[in-house]
Structure formats: C-alpha cells, structure tokens
A and B are shown apart, each in its own frame.
Chain A
Amino acid sequence: MYKLLLCWRYLLTRYLALVCIVSVMLGVATLIVVNSVMAGFSTKLKDRLHGLLSDIDVEAITYRGMDGLDEKMRRIAEDPFLGQEVEAMTPTMEVFAMLHFEINGEKILRPVRLIGIDAKGRARLGGFAEHLLNPENRADPSFELRGEARERWLREQQPMALPQRFPDPVSAPGAPPAPPPPEPSLFLPKGIILGYAIAHLRDKTADASKQDKDFRILNPGDEVVVSTLSGAQTADGLKLDPVSFRCAVVDYVKTEMSEYDANYVYMDLEDLQHLRTMHGRATSIQMKLKNYGGYSHARAVADVLQKKFPSYQASTWEDKQGALLAAIAVEKGILNVLLFMIVGVAGFGILAIFSMIVVEKTRDIGVLKALGASNGGVMKIFLGYGLLLGVVGATVGTGLGVAFTVYINEVEKFLSAVTGADIFPRSVYYFDKIPTDIQPASVLLVNLGAVLIAVLFSVMPALRAALLHPVRALRYE
C-alpha cells in the first residue's frame, strides 16, 4: 500500500517528473497525429483507388484484346460460384492516345489514356458517375451532348443551326397560318469526358483561402481531337495506322486523384471500337463484386476467373496497385520507428530524472527499509512511479493527439494564416481537407509502447534504490 501512496505523492510533489510526463505526452501525441494522418491519407487513397478501379478485371494484354464479350460475360454470370459473387460487369477498352485542342489559336497536345466504356454499364460498377462534374450526367451518365455543352457546341461550330429569332411572318388576314419552319437537321459530334486536370489549370499563386483557384481551359461543347492507333487485320498481319476522331467535351471526371484527373479520358466503347476497327472487342472485362470482403476473398474470386480464362490476366485492384500500397505501408512503418525514438528520448529523460530522485530519496529509502520494506517493495515504488508517469503522459498525450487530429484542418488553417506558408498545398493532393483516420488499435499500441518504455527506463534507477544498503542510506547526508 505504501508503494501506491508514495508513487502518488512523488508524482504530485516532484515537478521535475512533470518534464518526463511532458516528453512522454509529446511523443505519444506526435505518434498519434502522424499515424492518424498517414492512415487517413492511405485510407482515402485506397478508397479513391478502389473507387476508380473495378474490384476485379480480366484483361487481355495483346493489342487485339478479346472478342466474344457477350459470350464471356454470360459464362461468368452462369458460373455457379462467380454468378453468386459478381454483381455487375462491363467491357472496357483502354489505349494510349493523343488529345489535341486549340486555345486562342494555339494548338495544345497531351498524351492521355483513352478509355472506351459503356457509360451506363461502367456507372453500375461505381467510381465513375459520382465523379462527374455535371449533376445531370451524374444522375444519368452518357456521352450525349446535352444542355450547356450542346448549346455551346452549336454556337461555336454551327451558329446557323441555332434557332433564329426572326419575327414571325405576318400573314395576311384570313390566310391559313404559315407552316412551322422545318427542324434544322443538326450534326452533333460524339461526346468525350475529360479528366478534370486536363481541362483546368490551377492557379498555384492564389491565396490558400481562395476556394476556386481553377481556370477552365476547355468548356463543355469545345471541340477536341483524339488520335490513336487503329489496327486492321490484313493478309500481311496486323497493320497499324494512326487515326483521329473529332469530338466535343461533355463533362469532366474529378476524382481528386491527380494521376487520374490529369491523364484519363473517357469515350463511348462503341465509338472507340469503331475508331480502332475492333468491333465487338475490348481489352478487359471489369467486374464489381457483391461483397468485396477484403483482399483474400477478392483474390479467391480472381483465381477462379483466371482458371476460366487462362489466356487472360485476372487481377484485383489491389494487385494492380500493389506497389503503391506497399510503399505507403513501408513509409508508415519507417515513420513509426523514427517517431518512436521520440518516446525513446523521453525514456532517457525518465532514466536521468529518476536517478536523481533516487539519490535525493536515499535517506527515505533507508527509512523505509528500517521500517520493514523489502528490496522488492522499494523497487516497486520506482517502477510504479515510472508506470504512473508513463500512463499519465500517454493519457494526456492521447487526448492531445486525438484533439489535434480531429481539429487538424483548423490547426492547419491557423498555421497557414500565421506563417503565410501553405502548409497543406491542396493542388498537390487534390484533397480539400487533410484526411485523418484515428485507428483505435494503433492508438492503443502507441500507448502500450510509451508505457512500456517508461517502465523499462525506470528499471535501472529502481534497481539501484532496491539495492541500497539501509545503513548507508540512513547515514547519507
């Protein structure tokens, strides 16, 4: 009992020990903030990636891709296992292309990844329609030129086709009314959906607080040209030729993943098949599972698909992004090791301060032994003291870290305002807010680690106290 009492009293009366608490607290808080922010980034990144990529796809790596799409999809749907697992699937054609367009009479050329999809089918897989900018398209994704885009295109390209506001012809009284003017037959180009960053420039010098820093260079209805390769099977083998396709911007995909927003361009699958003379073909079949259920489950489904289509490659989205995900995990691990050294530093602080306290308390230790306290009991006082410091430091640190994490965006705003530097440049991350994810397991682990270090570093001073000779301790001046 005296151990508890003395631990508690030492905690309340030794202000030097508060330094230990503060150092443990800072270490724990830093670890929690960094872990939460990194977990937030990685969760958000995973969500985004997973949102953009289908759960599983079966991909042909050859130029000609795969044919018999309907038959393949039927085979998947009719498979007793796969039929249970797969919720939706759609064929997709992906190819490199060149996008060119004009701004103020200047030609601009951009390499892009051209993806041919069936807009409605792709929307069923998720991660496409919800990223479209135009709410009308979000509800009903399509490559059709509608509304604003249609009007702009007509105004720019076919002004004569627009309804003219001529005064109604004045008919002679009593004469039959004039027949309505014939509907003008309009040519409407095929639509194309661009990645947000292709069609917008970001003003990087703009004030951090300014919401709309993006300047649109391609409006809905603007004409762009897509050039890619077309392959025709001839007697001499596959003959590749460059082909071009004029189309009009319909909408933008804003995924907030700069990699995708800056490179991806979507068009109708049939148009792309036509352009590349690959009728009825695609490069992959993308699938959404009813229940993704973690990597191992998805991988099991992919394995079944692989067996069914041995000449193609079946992979989950995590397989495709493996390198990136592994890099995030490694980064997090290394950061944790480095930051834990902060707690290690706190440990050395505890060692030093405890050693001083043991020297200061030498006589009291002698008294306790004279009164019948055992060596183990004296040792437990100091171990308990270390434990108490660790627990208090870790608890306060957890509170601080969690509060900092919860209000991290406010803190960032404040710091940005005070220092004038953009601490979280949104143009780099395409996130509006710093994402955080406080994981209870990692918070618990950090706490346990900090407490363990506090106790471990108090072992040496505690041993010293325990082994003090009572008579020498009593005589200590």
Chain B
Amino acid sequence: MLDASPLLSAVGLVKAYRKHAINVPVLGGVDLDVHAGEFLSVVGASGSGKSTLLHLLGTLDRPDAGEVFLDGERIDNLPSERRDALRNQTFGFIFQFYHLLPELTALENVLIPRMIAHSVLGWWRARRELKRQAAELLDRVGLGHRLRHKPRELSGGEMQRAAIARALIGRPRVLLADEPTGNLDADTGAEIVRLLRDLNRQDGLTIVMVTHNLELVAETDRTVRLAAGRTEEAVLPGAV
C-alpha cells in the first residue's frame, strides 16, 4: 500500500485565518500522503483545521505556504480555471450539512456537476445518458425511489446519500468528505460510512474523510490525527 508515489500529497501546508486583524494559525506545516485506493480518515478536535486541510487538498482554498501535489503535479497554484476543472472532475466533495440546492430535485442536484462541465448544447446532446447515470447512482445509494423529490422532502440520511451521488457523478479520483456523518444519528451515520466503505472496496475510490467521531474510523484503512496544526499517524483501537 505504501508505494513510492502517492496519488495526493500535501507538503508543509500552512494556513492562517484573519479574525479581527489577529492572525489565527490553523495549519502549521501539515504533511500528508494519500495513496490511490486508500480510505483515509483525518481526526482531530473541533477547530483543529480538518476542514481547512480538506479544502486545501481539494483546491477550494489556497495555502499560505506549502504545496499540494496530484500525481506528482503541483495543483495548489494552478490558475482558477484549472482548479475549477479539478474540483469538477477529479475531486468529489461531500459536506456535513449536505449542501444540496433546495430549488432542485435529487436527480437535478446529482446532475449539477455534469451541467457545470457541459455547455448548453453539450448537455442537450448528452442529457439522456447523463440522466440515466444519475438515476443509476441514486439507485446505488438507495434513493432510486426519490429521484423527483426536493431536498426538503428527504431525511438527513437521504440528503447525504444524494450528496454522495452528486460527488460521484463526475467519476472523481478522490472523494473528500467533510464530517459526512456529523449531522446524522449514529445508525444513519454508520450506514453512510458503510456506503463509503463499499465504494472504496468495490470501485477502488480514494476517500479522505474528516471526522471527530472516533467510532467511525474503524471502517477506514488509515487514520491521521491532526493536532496543534500538524499531522501524526494515529494508531487507534480497532484501526486496520
């Protein structure tokens, strides 16, 4: 598993936020390697910078210092169009609060990344195939019967499943999950993690999951602890 070239790696990531003219350091030189096909969990206390690390890995934000590499190619300093394309095609995001667009149905929410990727004409040509793919994905995450429902008509677990389907529609190489179970009850949260586990095992999807729930990390291949702005390999009870 620990082959020489990681799929995604962070080197010396530094990030600070400015709050009322005070610099709040969040990450102080984080190094992280994510290998292809790995299900990695990042744990840490609230405010330890887990989400920030995820945003930096997914080019949603730029580090103050340090570098992010994808397949050995630096991606944190790419022009914004390239980073937009990376987020659209290489990374899939899921969030604690699902972040589905309330105006759209589950199916449309899943299709949004493909709509972003296609022009109107391209969308029009490919729409049947894409809709079929989206419906299949929703079916796979157990929402086959909820295609036309708006987010407000779905339960928390269902919304997160829809969000996972949305993250997968672009066939990403890395799924970045930010506290995917943080807003769900224990059983539903466990189901979501099992779903991620299955995706990882069956499709070989690389997953980086941020969580503060130590029970969930049992399902993951490897756990990294984030503390005081740095990472450390954690050996947790039950970890593989």
Contacts and interface: CB of A to CB of B under 8 A. Distances in A.
Contact of A374 (B80, B89, B102): B80
Query: SS class of chain B's interface: helix, strand, loop or mixed?
Result: helix
Interface string A453-477: 0000000000000000111001000
B58 A370 contact: yes
B58 to A, nearest CB: 7
Contacts of A4: 120
Nearest to B86: A372
Contact of A373 (B84, B86, B93): B84
A1 B87 contact: no
Given A4-B120, A5-B108, A370 B60 contact: yes
Nearest to B119: A1
Interface string A1-23: 11011100110110000000000
Nearest to A9: B103
Interface stretch (B3-11, B68-76, B110-118): B110-118
Interface string B44-68: 0000000010010010110000000
A8 to B, nearest CB: 9
Contacts of B115: 1-2, 5
B88 A371 contact: yes
B166 A371 contact: yes
B234 to A, nearest CB: 26
A255 interface: no
Interface stretch (A112-120, A196-204, A216-224, A360-368): A360-368
A372 to B, nearest CB: 3
Contacts of B58: 370
A9 B151 CA distance: 14
A471 B116 contact: no
B81 interface: yes
A375 interface: yes
Nearest to A363: B99
Q: Interface residue tally of chain B, by bracket?
A: 20 to 34
A446 to B, nearest CB: 29
A377 interface: yes
A369 interface: yes
A468 B57 CA distance: 19
A13 B103 contact: yes
Contacts of A12: 103
B134 to A, nearest CB: 13
B162 to A, nearest CB: 13
Contacts of B170: 372
Residue from B85, B101, B124 having most chain A Cβ neighbours under 10 A: B101
A371 B116 contact: yes
Interface residues of A, number: 26
A373 B87 CA distance: 9
Given A1-B123, A367-B99, A372 B104 contact: no
A340 B55 CA distance: 47
B130 to A, nearest CB: 10
B39 interface: no
A1 B103 contact: no
Interface string A346-382: 0000000000000000011011111111110100000
B88 A474 contact: no
Contacts of B116: 1-2, 368, 371-373, 377
B151 to A, nearest CB: 11
A375 B55 CA distance: 17
Given A370-B60, A371-B112, A9 B88 contact: no
A2 B112 contact: yes
A401 to B, nearest CB: 31
Contacts of B52: 471
Contacts of B166: 371
Given A4-B120, A13-B103, A363-B99, A368 B112 contact: yes
Contact of A471 (B60, B99, B104, B117): B60
Contact of A369 (B60, B86, B117): B60
A13 B89 CA distance: 30
A9 B104 contact: yes
Given A367-B101, A370-B93, A372-B85, A1 B120 contact: yes
Interface of B: 52, 55, 58, 60-61, 80-81, 84-89, 93, 95, 99, 101-104, 108, 112-113, 115-120, 122-124, 166, 170
Top 9 A-B pairs, shortest CB-CB distance: A372-B88, A2-B115, A9-B103, A1-B123, A1-B115, A372-B87, A367-B99, A371-B113, A374-B84
28 contacts: A1-B116, A2-B115, A2-B116, A4-B120, A5-B104, A5-B115, A6-B101, A6-B104, A13-B103, A364-B99, A364-B101, A364-B102, A369-B84, A370-B95, A370-B99, A371-B93, A372-B84, A372-B86, A372-B88, A372-B89, A372-B113, A372-B116, A372-B117, A373-B84, A374-B81, A469-B61, A470-B60, A471-B61
Given A363-B99, A368-B101, A369-B87, 10 more contacts: A1-B123, A2-B115, A364-B99, A368-B116, A370-B95, A370-B99, A373-B84, A374-B80, A470-B61, A471-B52
